[in-house]
Structure 1
């Protein structure tokens, strides 16, 4: 099982929207590296939803519920999507400033490649994020 961080602009589609909808198709990703990550996702993978923009905060969890498949709304076969279902909000959202200040996250793609919308989360970093969220 892999773990991922998925970024979303809360004004476009927030974690609260996902909770209300219960599930959604995670689409709109066009970056080559992010699409490569989506192609490696599997049903059951865990996700942290991260709000971008002014918030810059990890806010909740979700689960991948499908294998990657071609985006049915795109004319480009290279664009893939996955289905996700809402998990729980983090008891204490974790800000980007907190993540940057914690040595446990040194070298993480979230910090190294800030524009990347799909980021793998190594197990140790996932565990640390969950600790910070308690």
Structure 2
């Protein structure tokens, strides 16, 4: 199983919208590296849903429920999508500024490549982030 961070603008589609809908097609990705990451996703991988814009925080955990497939709304086989469903809202949202303050995250692509909308999350970072989302204490 792999772990991911999926960025979304909450004014367009938030984690709360995902909860309401029960599932969605994760689309709109057009950056080459982000698409490469989407293409490597597997069924049952887990993803943190991260609100961008003014919020800049992790809001929930979702599960990848399909293999990557071409975006059915586009005539471009390179543009892939995956289906996701919500698993749980985090107890304690984790902000970008909190993540930046923790030295353990210095090499995390969320910080190194801030414009990337699909970010792999190494196992150790996933564990740290899960600890942060379940309490208000720092690691």
Which sections of structure 1, spanning at least 5 residues, go unmatched?
A: none
Partner of 2:39: 39
- 1:63, distance to aligned residue in structure 2 (A): 0.2
Once the two structures are superposed, the pairs formed by residues 20-39 of structure 1 within 5 Å of their partners are 20-39=20-39
Output the aligned Cα RMSD: 0.5
Once the two structures are superposed, the pairs formed by residues 12-91 of structure 1 within 5 Å of their partners are 12-91=12-91
Which sections of structure 2, spanning at least 5 residues, go unmatched?
A: 135-139
- 1:87, distance to aligned residue in structure 2 (A): 1.0
1:98 aligned counterpart, secondary structure = helix
Render the CA deviation track for 1:58-110: whole Å, top value 9, x for unaligned: 01000000000000001111100000011111000000000000112111110
1:59 aligned counterpart, secondary structure = strand
Once the two structures are superposed, the pairs formed by residues 86-97 of structure 1 within 5 Å of their partners are 86-97=86-97
Partner of 1:119: 119
1:42 aligned counterpart, secondary structure = coil
2:99 aligned counterpart, secondary structure = helix
Off by >3 Å, runs of 4+ in structure 1: none
- 1:30, distance to aligned residue in structure 2 (A): 0.3
Aligned length: 134
TM-score normalised to structure 1 length: 0.99
- Cα distance in 1 between the residues matched to 2:73 and 2:15: 22
